[in-house]
Amino acid sequence: MPGACDGKVALVTGASRGLGKAIARRLAGEGATVGLTARTMEPDPKYHGSLQQTLDEITAAGGAAIAIQADLSKPEDREQLFAELIERAGAPDILVNNAAVTFLRPLDEFPDRRARLMIEMHVLAPMHLTQLAIPAMRERGRGWVLNVTSVGGDLPDGPPFSEFDRTAGFGVYGTVKAALNRLTKSFAAELYDDGIAVNAAAPSNPVATEGAGALDLAKTDTEDIELITQTALTLVTADPKSMTGRIAHTQPFLREIGWLR
């Protein structure tokens, strides 16, 4: 039975662990040739997960993937990543901007270099990678960009404020995700006539990925990771003319399309 992504090339950033790995495996299972990228190529005792492990799991399940090591905080690495992906697999039909870095510090002493790195990874890198993907997508007359965002990008209610919103430095994370959401909407509008869909997706509740656990933001799952992979799959296979510019929170989005009750 054909998969929803048969014949397509997908690039998934931050694919060594967490949501990126789960989305990469889902797209490969649907027939995409998946370009995997992250900083960690080989297993390392200091980190949970690596590109090699994701690659091995995809190929063991019968999928197709390639792994390209890159530090996406560096523009030159982003350029090289795209050049190598095109050479080895072709220009991507699907781009999933998932790679991120997060630091939590009190706002009154938040280090400038940490804030700049978060802006680079959450905003400038997705923008640059989307720019690199546009020419081939525009030539084909179709393409899908998905930015992995967070409910932390929504404006907080309060007072009283939630525990998450009162977490030291959480506002910087929320700020860069809010910027990513606005960037998503802007790209969707500008690329609409080119047949390129640009959407963002966020778990409705915390998912206990390795990164979230390390920051004490989510030690246990309150949402099945399948909800984000299903949301991602839907957004990167839907008609770009009718499904673009969405900031999709998993549970209400999946209820809207009838996948979840």
Preceding peptide of 160 cis, ω within 30° = yes
- Side-chain-side CA neighbours of residue 137 (13 Å): 27
How far apart (Å, rounded) are the C-alpha atoms in residues 182 and 90?
A: 29
Contacts of residue 113, Cβ cutoff 8 Å, sequence gap at least 6: none
Q: Which of 144, 170, 173, 187 is labelled catalytic? A: 173
Let me know if 192 is a catalytic residue.
Answer: no
How far apart (Å, rounded) are the C-alpha atoms in residues 179 and 121?
A: 12
**Catalytic residue positions?**
173
